[in-house]
Homo-oligomer: A and B are copies of this chain.
Amino acid sequence: MRITIIGSGNVATHLAAAFKNAGHRIVEVYSRDMRNAALLAYHVGAEAIDDLSKINPETDVFIISVKDDAITSIVHEFAKYKRLTVHTSGAVSLSDLSSITPNAGVFYPLQTLSKNKEVDFLTVPLCIEGANEEITYQLEQLAQTISNRVYRVNSDQRKILHLAAVFACNFPNYLYSVAQQLLAKHDMNFEMLRPLILETAQKVQSNLPAEVQTGPAARKDETTMDAHLQMLADDDALKTLYTLLSQGIIKNANVKHTP
C-alpha cells in the first residue's frame, strides 16, 4: 500500500519503519518541524513535508500519529481527499475522526516505543477499528503485514486498554525508579535489581499475575510490612503508596480471578 505518515514521534517512527520493511511504500512524512520530517523520511525513502496544505493526495492511507489534541485539526486539512484516515491513539474515539471523514479507522500499537530502542514489531499487539466492516477488514489486512498480534478492539475497549497499559507499564516503571532511588541513597547499584525486574515480567508471560504474587503483603507478614513503613518514615507519599499497594495485594489474595 501507499502510506503517508503524519507525525515523526516514537509511534510514527516505528510504524513507518515496520511498513517499509514489510514492502509498503511510504509516500510522505509530515512534521511541523522540517528537520524531524526529513530525518524520518530519509530513513524510509519518503518525501518530507512541513506544510499540510501541500500534502500529496496520491496515497492509500493517512496514518496520524501526533499528540491526541492535535488529531482533529490535522484531519480537516486532508479530509477533502476522502482517503482512508486512521489515528494511532489509545485514548481518542473513532467517532472523533469519523465525524470529519467517513473513511476513518484506528491503528493503535499497544507497546512502549522509544526511538532509540529497537523492537520486534511482529510481537507488538495492534488494536484496529474501522468505521465500517470494509475498513476494519482492510486495516486488519494491513496490520497483519507488520504484526502477528492483531486485535479488533472498539473505542470503549481501547480506552480501557489504554488505562490498563498505564497500570501495566507506566506505573511499574515508576516503581522501578523508586527502588533505584532507594538503592542509590544507600550506595547500591540498580544493577542488583535488574534480574528481579525481568523475572517478575517473565513470570506473568505464562501465568496470571495474581497466581505468582509474592512478598510480605501476599504472606500477610505484618512484621516486615511494619519494618518497611518504618524505613519509609521520612517520605509520606511513599508510605501511603506502600500501604495502598499492600492493601490491594491482601484484598486480591482473598478473591478469585477470571483469566
Contact = CB atoms under 8 A, between A and B. Distances in A.
A74 interface: no
Interface SS of chain A: helix, strand, loop or mixed? helix
A191 B160 CA distance: 15
Interface stretch (A30-38, A39-47, A53-61, A207-215): A207-215
Interface residues of A, number: 95
B176 A172 contact: yes
B177 A252 contact: yes
B200 A166 contact: no
A167 B247 CA distance: 14
Stoichiometry (number of copies) = 2
Interface in A110-152: 110-112, 114, 117, 119, 123-125, 127, 149, 151
A70 to B, nearest CB: 12
Interface stretch (A15-23, A79-87, A99-107, A219-227): A219-227
Interface string A220-239: 01011001100110000100
A28 to B, nearest CB: 26
A117 B162 CA distance: 30
Contact of A167 (B68, B166, B169, B182): B182
A163 interface: yes
A73 to B, nearest CB: 15
A1 interface: no
A182 B68 CA distance: 23
Contacts of A176: 167-168, 172, 204, 209
Interface string A167-197: 1111111111111111111111110111111
B174 A252 contact: yes
A205 B200 contact: no
B248 A237 contact: yes
Interface of A: 68-69, 91, 110-112, 114, 117, 119, 123-125, 127, 149, 151, 153, 156-157, 159-190, 192-205, 208-210, 212-218, 221, 223-224, 227-228, 231-232, 237, 240-242, 244-245, 247-249, 251-252, 257-259
10 contacts: A91-B227, A110-B193, A114-B214, A160-B182, A171-B245, A174-B245, A198-B201, A200-B201, A237-B244, A237-B247
Given A165-B196, A169-B214, 11 more contacts: A112-B200, A149-B192, A159-B231, A162-B224, A163-B228, A167-B178, A174-B252, A177-B252, A178-B248, A200-B201, A241-B244
